[in-house]
Amino acid sequence: MIATLSAPVRTGQKIAVIGSGITGLSTAWLLSQAHDVHVFEADSRIGGHANTVTTPAGDQVDMGFIVFNRLTYPNLCALFSHLGVGCEESDMSFGVSLDDGRIEYSGDGLNGVFGQRRHLIQPSYYRMLSDLLRFYKKAPEDLANGRLTDITLGEYLHCDGYGERFQQQHILPMGAAIWSSSITEMLAFPAENFVSFYVNHGLFRLKDQVIWRTVTGGSRSYVEAISQKLHTENRIHINAPITAITRDGGQHCLDTASGETFSADQVVFACHTDQAIAILGEQATPEQCAVLGRIRYQRNRAVLHQDTRLMPRRRRVWTSWNYLGRKTADGGISASITYWMNRLQNIDRARPYFVSLNPLTEPDPAKVLATQDYTHPVFDTAAIAAQTELPLIQGANGLWFGGAWAGHGFHEDGIASGLAIAESIGGVKRPWQITEMSPAALNTRPVQQPIPVAAE
């Protein structure tokens, strides 16, 4: 039988949102002010990459979304303020450890930069630092004058003569840490998008750096704040994967794995593009497949643990973000990222917590607290091209597609995408005015809709 999305009765449309990450939750939160909205989540929990684990000691540790800042996350900050979600300062220091500690350094003061004392007398290390200073000064200039258009990061680094050590021991590892990608994927990353992201996030600043923040009590706090209202009206459905969508007259019929069918006037796919195509099946149009099918994903395994062996060998180079790389037999590089959660979330260091992404060495099973598989979008030239074409298919036949994949892949991109979709559907408007920082705000709107501009 068909169960319509009818409780509570509202004067607006019946809207189904598939996915409960930041995009799905922000879309549903805003649309619910005027429409009858239901969220369908395949997992047993909501939140997507906002994933907080309560440890046996009672600490709240995040395993996905961790940090943000006031400069480049304006919608997220406005939402947190609106919901009364508490935040506190965090730390975004970065370090590198290669080949089991053979090469180590961090950007955390001189003691970290020269954490390996032999670097003090090593000319190649000073050349790397010289390349770093040159890149941080020149890349923004090249972005401004259009030199980075239609070339990859690897091509740019090669053409401008940056040394192998700077590439393999600094800029590529840092990019891999930010985007949860491999060194190979970072070489194929569009240079214009890479440098633009660095400029917008203040990552080229050696002084007056951006202050990063984290949610007090873990990201679960904001998920609960959004979902509380929706839950009270039985509008969030967990363990409810949508298996197919068909048209019935002017409505969409959504089939769940449990055999239930729901009808809705419009459907928001707040999930990854490959999942949207799979759900649509034969209902997907050639145009939808051409756009959504060009975005690839990489699977990453996150492990929350207390094993210090997965940190740099030298304690003085421990940082919030630790890139660990190891050469493979075929000449490649196997890489992992370990996040020091005590430093990121201001947790008592007497109880050490680490989150390792694709660990090179498995942590001691007795020290593992949780594991979680994630998929992250791969931002190559095909994906960037697909983003610019998304407005051409947006909203056609009442189908909408959004997510962090429509921008840089981060939480601000997810919420910017969700709010843009909600306002495009109509009847609602976010209760704040900001200057958009995420490209997802433009990419997610139908082609004829401009981006609202904040009042001066």
User: pLDDT at residue 167 above 70?
Assistant: yes
Across 77-121, the runs of DSSP E, i.e. the strands, are 87-89, 94-98, 103-106
Mean residue pLDDT across the chain: 92
Are residue 247 and residue 387 in the same domain, yes or no?
yes
- Taking the C-alpha atoms of residue 201 and residue 194, their distance in angstroms, rounded to an integer, is 11
User: pLDDT at residue 58 above 90?
Assistant: yes
Helix or strand (DSSP H, E) at 268: strand 266-269
pLDDT at 311: 97
Confidence of residue 187 (pLDDT cuts 50, 70, 90): very high
AA letter at 387: Q
Q: Which of 148, 172, 207 is the last residue of a domain?
A: 207
Are residue 15 and residue 160 in the same domain, yes or no?
no
Are residue 283 and residue 415 in the same domain, yes or no?
yes
Q: Which of 46-55, 145-154, 233-242, 275-284 has the lowest mean pLDDT?
A: 233-242
Residue 110 in any domain: the answer is: no
Count the neighbouring beta carbons within 10 Å of the beta carbon of residue 1.
5
Are residue 291 and residue 390 in the same domain, yes or no?
yes
Answer for the pair 416, 383: CB distance below 8 angstroms, yes or no.
Answer: no
**CA 216 vs CA 52, 59, 67: distances in Å:** 11, 11, 11
Residue 34 in any domain: the answer is: yes
Are residue 149 and residue 254 in the same domain, yes or no?
no
Are residue 192 and residue 225 in the same domain, yes or no?
no
For the residues 210-231, what does the mean pLDDT come to? 93
Across 30-106, the runs of DSSP E, i.e. the strands, are 36-40, 52-54, 60-62, 67-69, 87-89, 94-98, 103-106
Are residue 164 and residue 291 in the same domain, yes or no?
no
For the residues 51-78, what does the mean pLDDT come to? 97
pLDDT at 282: 92
Domain count for the chain: 2
Residue 71 in any domain: the answer is: no
CA R_g for the chain: 23
For the residues 385-410, what does the mean pLDDT come to? 96
Higher pLDDT, residue 120 or 331:
120
Answer for the pair 21, 409: CB distance below 8 angstroms, yes or no.
Answer: no
User: pLDDT at residue 207 above 80?
Assistant: no
Higher pLDDT, residue 106 or 328:
106
Pairing state between β 94-98 and 321-327:
parallel
User: pLDDT at residue 296 above 50?
Assistant: yes
Are residue 193 and residue 248 in the same domain, yes or no?
no
The answer to whether the Cα torsion of 269, 275, 276, 282 is positive or negative is negative
pLDDT at 348: 97
pLDDT at 451: 52
Collapsed DSSP state (helix, strand, coil) of residue 361: coil
pLDDT digits (tens, 9 = 90+) for 440-451: 999 999 986 555
Confidence of residue 45 (pLDDT cuts 50, 70, 90): very high
For the residues 270-285, what does the mean pLDDT come to? 96
pLDDT digits (tens, 9 = 90+) for 80-100: 999 999 999 999 999 999 999
User: pLDDT at residue 4 above 70?
Assistant: no
- Taking the C-alpha atoms of residue 343 and residue 339, their distance in angstroms, rounded to an integer, is 9
Q: Which of 161-165, 395-399, 434-438 has the lowest mean pLDDT?
A: 434-438
Answer for the pair 18, 269: CB distance below 8 angstroms, yes or no.
Answer: yes
Domain of residue 283, CATH code: 3.50.50.60
Collapsed DSSP state (helix, strand, coil) of residue 322: strand
Q: Which of 148, 181, 207 is the last residue of a domain?
A: 207
Most confident of the ranges 12-16, 173-177, 399-403 = 399-403
pLDDT digits (tens, 9 = 90+) for 298-325: 999 999 999 999 999 999 999 999 999 9
Answer for the pair 199, 148: CB distance below 8 angstroms, yes or no.
Answer: no
For the residues 251-264, what does the mean pLDDT come to? 93
pLDDT at 448: 66
Confidence of residue 3 (pLDDT cuts 50, 70, 90): very low
**CA 164 vs CA 167, 232, 316: distances in Å:** 5, 56, 25
User: pLDDT at residue 453 above 70?
Assistant: no
User: pLDDT at residue 8 above 50?
Assistant: no
Are residue 393 and residue 275 in the same domain, yes or no?
yes
User: pLDDT at residue 9 above 60?
Assistant: no
User: pLDDT at residue 405 above 80?
Assistant: yes
Residue 269 in any domain: the answer is: yes
Helix or strand (DSSP H, E) at 279: helix 273-280
For the residues 411-440, what does the mean pLDDT come to? 94
For the residues 179-191, what does the mean pLDDT come to? 91
H-type alpha helices, 337-426: 341-345, 381-393, 411-425
Angle among Cα 295, 299, 302 to the nearest 5 degrees reads 140
Residue 342 in any domain: the answer is: no
Collapsed DSSP state (helix, strand, coil) of residue 214: strand
pLDDT digits (tens, 9 = 90+) for 100-135: 999 999 998 899 999 999 999 999 999 999 999 999
Closest CA to 340 of 375, 306, 382, 289: 306
Are residue 261 and residue 291 in the same domain, yes or no?
yes
Confidence of residue 7 (pLDDT cuts 50, 70, 90): very low
pLDDT at 145: 94
b/e for 367-404, b at 16 or more Cβ within 10 A? bebeeeebbbbbbbeebbebbebbbebbbeebbbbbbb
Are residue 193 and residue 232 in the same domain, yes or no?
no
Domain that holds residue 26: 2-52+218-295+380-443
For the residues 359-376, what does the mean pLDDT come to? 96
Confidence of residue 372 (pLDDT cuts 50, 70, 90): very high
Residue 237 in any domain: the answer is: yes
User: pLDDT at residue 435 above 50?
Assistant: yes
Residue 455 in any domain: the answer is: no
Are residue 290 and residue 391 in the same domain, yes or no?
yes
- Taking the C-alpha atoms of residue 21 and residue 29, their distance in angstroms, rounded to an integer, is 12
Q: Which of 157, 172, 207 is the last residue of a domain?
A: 207
Residue 362 in any domain: the answer is: no
H-type alpha helices, 160-272: 164-166, 172-179, 183-187, 191-200, 220-232
